[in-house]
Amino acid sequence: MTVSPIVTALRRPRNFEDNVNAYFDHAATFCSHAKGLLDQIRICNAVYAFAFPVRFADGSIEVVHAWRAEHSHHKLPTKGGIRYAPNVDESEVKALAALMTYKCALVDVPFGGAKGAVQIDPSRYTLDQLERITRRYTHELDRKQFIGPGLDVPAPDYGTGEREMSWIADTYGQLHTGELEALACVTGKPVTEGGIHGRREATGRGLMYALSEACRSAEDMAALGLSVGLEGKRLVVQGLGNVGYHVAKFCREHGAILVAIAEREGAIHNPKGLSEDEVFQFRKRTGSLLGFPGATDILKSPDALELDCDVLVPAALESVLTGENAPRIKAKIVLEGANGPTTPEADEVFRQKKMLVIPDVYANAGGVTVSYFEWLKNLSHVRLGRLDRRRQAATEMRMLQAIERATGKAFTDSERQSFVKVTDELAIVNSGLEDTMIVAYQDIREALRRQPEAGDLRTAAFITAINKVAIVYEELGIFP
Ligand code: NAD
C-alpha cells in the first residue's frame, strides 16, 4: 500500500518548511508532471545568508544575522516581504519564499517567490538603530544582486512596514543614482514616496474578499450549517497588526461581528462585538488590550482560538493551529491571514471535521497583488487612472444623457453622482484586487470540483499553483 506524503510527513518531527513541502508533496500526487520538473518547482533556487556588524550611537557593536531566499526564478523579478523577528531562521525564510511562488502563481502575478528576514526583535531598538540595520541590510542585498526592480523586489511582512520600505528605496536609490526604475526596487512604500493607495490595507481587504467569495456559495455554506454572506458572521482574530486590524475592519464593514481579539499579552472577548479601532487605540494608550471596557479578559492568548465563533482568522504567527488544539477549535471556517498558521496535523483534523479552510497561499495574496500594481505604477511613472479618468467620467455622462433623451426621464443629481464617478487610484486598486481574489477563488474551487479526491481548498490551491508554474517551465523550455 502506498503511503501519502502527508501521512509520511506527519510521522517525523517537522518545521514550517517541512510543512509547506508536505502540502506540496501531497498536492503533487494529484498532478501528472515528471518528477524532475516537480523537484525543480519545489526546490529553493537561491539563498543568501549573511551577517553584518552594526555600530550603535553608544559605540557598541552587534552582529546581525539576515537572509534573502529566492525560491523560484521561473519568472523575474522575484517578490516577497521582509520579516523582522527574533526567532526567524533560514528554514523559515525558505518556507515563506516557497509560499510566495505558489501565491503569485495563484493570483497571476508574474513574479517568482522570495522572502527576506533580519533576526532582530524590532521593539528592542531605537528608530535610529532600526534605520541603520535596514540600510545596511539593503546594502548587503545590493552587493549580491538580491535586490532590484528586475531582480528581486521586497515588501513589508511581520515586523516591518512603510517606514522600512522607504529606507530601503532611499538606500537603493543612493546606490543607483539616475536609474529611472529605481523606485520599483521595493513595494509597500509610503504613498508620498512612490507607494500606491490601498497597499497598506491590501492584505486585510483581500482576505475579506476571499471570505466573502467563499460565503457567497449557498452549497458550501449549507454544508457548514451557515447562512450565505458575511452578514452576522462571528469573527475571532489573532494578531492586531497590519493584517489582523484590516481584515477585522473590512469584514465588520460588511456586516461581520468581531467577537474576540488575541494579542501577545492575552485576549479579549465580547459576544456583542468589538471595534478593532477602539481596541487598537486602547492598546496603544495602555500598552495592553486587557481591561478593554465591556470585554472579558482571557489571560492565555491561545485560548481565544478555541472560542465559539463562525470564522477564525489567525493573523499573527505560523503553527498556531496544531494537532493538539485543532480538535477544540469551534469555528466552521479558518481564514488564514498569517503564513503557515495551520500544521498538517491540524489540517487533517479540520478535514475530518469538514471545516472550510481558506488557505494562506491564496487568502493573504492581496498584499502581493497590490504590490504588483505599485511596481507597475513605478515602472510606468504615472498614477493609476491619471490619463483617462476624466475621459471615462465624460463617457459615462454622455451615456446618461443618451438614456435621458431616449426615455424622456431626467436623473436626479444624486443618481447622476452615483453613476458618474471620477475614478481615483484607490478605486482602481480595490477593484483590481477584488477581481483578482474572486477569479483566483473560483479557479481553486473549480480545481476541487474537477478533483474532489483532493479533499480541500489548500490541496486544490497547491495543485493549481503547481500546474501554473509547470506550464511556464514546459512552454518556455527553461531547462539548460
Ligand atoms: P505585524 O507585525 O503588523 O502584526 C503582527 C501582530 O501579531 C502584532 O500586533 C503582534 O503583536 C501580534 N502577535 C505576535 N505574537 C503574537 C501572539 N503570540 N499572539 C497573538 N498576537 C501576536 O505583521 P503583519 O504584517 O500583520 O503579518 C502577520 C502575518 O501575516 C504574518 O504571518 C505575515 O507573514 C502575514 N502576511 C502579511 C502580509 C502583509 O502585507 N503585511 C501579507 C501576507 C501575509
Q: Considering only CA atoms, which of 365, 351, 352, 358 is closest in space to residue 334?
A: 358
- How many Å lie between the centroid of ligand 1 and the Cα of residue 360? 13
Spacing, Cα 274 to ligand 1 middle (Å): 19
Q: How far is CA 391 from CA 384, 402, 414, in A?
A: 14, 17, 21
Contact 348, 273 (CB under 8 A): no
Using 50, 70 and 90 to split pLDDT, how confident is the model at 241?
A: very high
Q: What is the percent of the chain with per-residue pLDDT over 90, rounded to a whole number?
A: 83
Grid-cell match 540600510, residue found? 135
| Higher-scoring residue by pLDDT: 3, 20 | 20
Band (91; pLDDT cuts 50, 70, 90): very high
396: exposed, middle or buried (C-beta count within 10 Å: 0-12, 13-18, 19+)? middle
pLDDT band at 337 (very low <50, low <70, confident <90, very high): very high
Report the Cα 122 to chain-centroid distance in Å.
21
Q: What are phi and psi of 47, to 5 degrees?
A: -130, 130
Instruction: Tell me the DSSP string of 363-375.
Output: HTTHHHHHHHHHH
> Does the annotation count 249 as an active-site position?
no
pLDDT at 404: 80
Strand partners, 266: 263
Q: Tell me what pLDDT residue 422 has.
A: 59
pTM of the shown model: 0.91
Ranking 27-36, 78-87, 324-333, 413-422 by mean pLDDT, the lowest is 413-422
In percent, the amount of the chain with pLDDT more than 70 equals 95
Residue owning the nearest CA to atom 8 of ligand 1:
241
* Distance (Å, whole) CA 459 – CA 28: 9
**Which domains, ranges and CATH numbers included, belong to the chain?**
5-195+458-476 (3.40.50.10860), 202-364 (3.40.50.720)
Q: Is 79 strand, coil or helix?
A: strand
C-beta separation of 427 from 439 below 8 A? no
CA of 375 from ligand 1 middle (Å) equals: 23
pLDDT score of 255: 97
Q: What is the DSSP letter of 30?
A: T
Q: Considering only CA atoms, which residue is closest to atom 40 of ligand 1?
A: 367
C-alpha cell at 309: 465563533
Query: In the structure, what pLDDT confidence band is assigned to residue 431 with cuts at 50, 70 and 90?
Result: very high
With beta carbons less than 8 A apart as the criterion, state whether 406 and 367 touch.
no
Which pLDDT score, from 0 to 100, does residue 403 have?
78
Tell me, what's the pLDDT at 9?
A: 53
Give the mean model confidence (pLDDT) for residues 337-363: 96
pLDDT at 399 over 90: no
- What residues contact residue 280 under an 8 Å CB cut-off, 6+ apart? 240, 245
pLDDT at 420: 67
Q: Hey, whose CA ends up nearest to atom 15 of ligand 1? A: 264
Amino acid 1: pLDDT: 42
Q: How far apart are CA 461 and CA 88, in angstroms?
A: 26
**8 Å CB contact between 267 and 261:** yes
Look at residue 7 in the predicted model and tell me its pLDDT: 53
Are 237 and 301 a contacting pair, CB within 8 Å? no
Handedness of CA 70, 72, 76, 80 (dihedral sign): negative
